[in-house]
A and B are shown apart, each in its own frame.
Chain A
């Protein structure tokens, strides 16, 4: 399922983007002449249709590859809190910047990987310490890290990955095991052979990635290469944030490492807002909210979790549904050129099916492209096309396909 061939165009484009602004040739294409001021004072491109076409082309190129991704992830975040994390080349300190990035990352991680679990391990004084166990609640991790933000001693990569490997070995085989090391130090202080530890990680199918703050280090590079992870070094605070955030979307999976399995899960109902009950996770009386396990009727406070009584995996169905648009994508809309649309049905397709905006037609006052869904043959404007493919993931026409598709055909 993994396809990486069709990236040629994108790479070529990226090469152009890498050039500094002053290196590119502007004088020839006189791009400023394409701009015009509109009624609200914003600059607009004169040839709207051409610009929209180009943008659609770019979007289509990016969406091309179909890649299997590991959706259920178990990730340990290894945070370096050694002496080097106290350095002040980042403001207020490397540690503070990392904590902010980790906070944003943890939230984003659970947003993009609703069924995944995350834990935090800290590296300081030559040892690795498990700060939070694998769990699905972002607040616990953020609170724990904020409360333990002190740096001392040396960092030991070997201790950290050995500890993470021990913990990750227990999780079920269908899940994807990962570690993400955020490393401030320039050296590692290990009790044994780190190469052996790297090999064991590879055998355990753990994907190790590293984001460095100082400089590129050989052992980090080796660790990532061996286990299939990513290694990157941040050059600035915003760059660091981008690099850490890159690990939030689920990574592509190699076909051989993925073990598919059916997992039994429960979809609990949310209790009424004014009901009072004991929760099993904290053993406290709670008012309102809460979810009731469909198997044993125990009440838990947060989803996703494992029922403490019967061990059933409890998730909310919206969590699952967040990723379904990957499975059933909306077909790419085709563009209708000037002549194709003017076959006597202009009155029927004068307005965009989605937003009732006037659609462009030859000689009309609206400029832009006119798009048609290949499945339901409804016409859409450029803005709706973008919205439908980027955010909505539903074609309004196809949703009522049973009748509307048959109507125009009858009239023909």
Chain B
């Protein structure tokens, strides 16, 4: 990798961090529609190979988000770095797909062992917030490099619906991504739209898409999400069909479109309370109950 090349302008070199939903609670129930986890995983593996083939400077990192944990499955930069050392011992370096598959199997086993300790209700979601935070930490490391770093972006392939209890953490991640101008793309393979990821792609300038036919996932990934950020301006990409800006309330973690907001700490509640459970502010019932004063006209 010549330094002249990387310094020239790295705007069409991408570092893609892919967040893969491997939640067994999702893939276990999903079989009725015909799109199985094996198919999904095959599509994604081919997609990863494709991105790496588009430019030899491209980097791909894969993070698996399971039912509660998340882990790094694959990092093309790290593998390339150690490959020389390993090939001395091994006769043949392992193929990329085998590495990812092995890591995934390890992770699923670990995740399974961890889940047995928990109530099932609690893990009915995928760990989006954790994997987003991890991805952003990793991207910070890429951006710290002294030579012109590749353009980072996050692609989130999610199947399971949103978990309202992750609301704050996901929002924090989104704002942090916005601040370092990292777009968050979202590809929804589940049946429900994801309000979190709609907001994420709206705020960070990424692409949100829910493929109507998940069986053709590879085509969607290639046509929409494989292109680098510079080339995107020349493409006709799917436009957003509205963004769900609803919030989830702090008291019951329900998604609401109208609610009460504490004026001191901005906590959201779905019902009128006497005191704020977050900051302890006491709401004067006489004043608070009458809503707001009408401006005297």
The chain A residues found within 8 Å of chain B, CB to CB, are: 40, 42, 68, 71-72, 115, 170, 172-175, 258-275, 291, 294-295, 312, 315-318, 320-328, 352-357, 383-384, 387-388, 391-397, 399-400, 402-404, 406-407
Contact = CB atoms under 8 A, between A and B. Distances in A.
Given A260-B263, A400-B68, A406-B117, A318 B168 contact: no
Interface in B27-48: none
B259 interface: yes
Contacts of B279: 68, 327
Interface stretch (B8-16, B85-93, B94-102, B237-245): B237-245
A25 B178 CA distance: 43
A257 to B, nearest CB: 12
A296 to B, nearest CB: 11
A392 B136 contact: yes
Interface stretch (B122-130, B154-162, B214-222, B223-231): B122-130
Contact of A393 (B137, B140, B176, B247): B176
Contacts of B166: 399
- Residue picked from A324, A384, A388, A399, most chain B C-beta under 10 Å: A399
Given A259-B284, A260-B282, A320-B268, A404 B172 contact: no
A170 B292 CA distance: 11
A293 to B, nearest CB: 9
B242 A272 contact: yes
Contact of A407 (B110, B129, B264, B283): B110
Contact of B262 (A172, A260, A291, A312): A260
B133 A265 contact: no
Contacts of B26: none
Given A262-B260, A320-B266, A383 B141 contact: yes
A320 B261 contact: yes
B140 A355 contact: yes
Contacts of A357: 141
Nearest to A405: B114
A262 B245 contact: no
A262 B263 contact: yes
Given A318-B174, A399-B129, A399-B133, A265 B260 contact: yes
A37 to B, nearest CB: 13
B137 A402 contact: no
Contacts of A275: 242
Given A262-B261, A391-B180, A407-B114, A324 B122 contact: no
A153 B264 CA distance: 42
A266 B258 contact: yes
B263 A273 contact: no
A383 B142 CA distance: 12
B120 interface: no
Contact of A271 (B134, B174, B242): B242
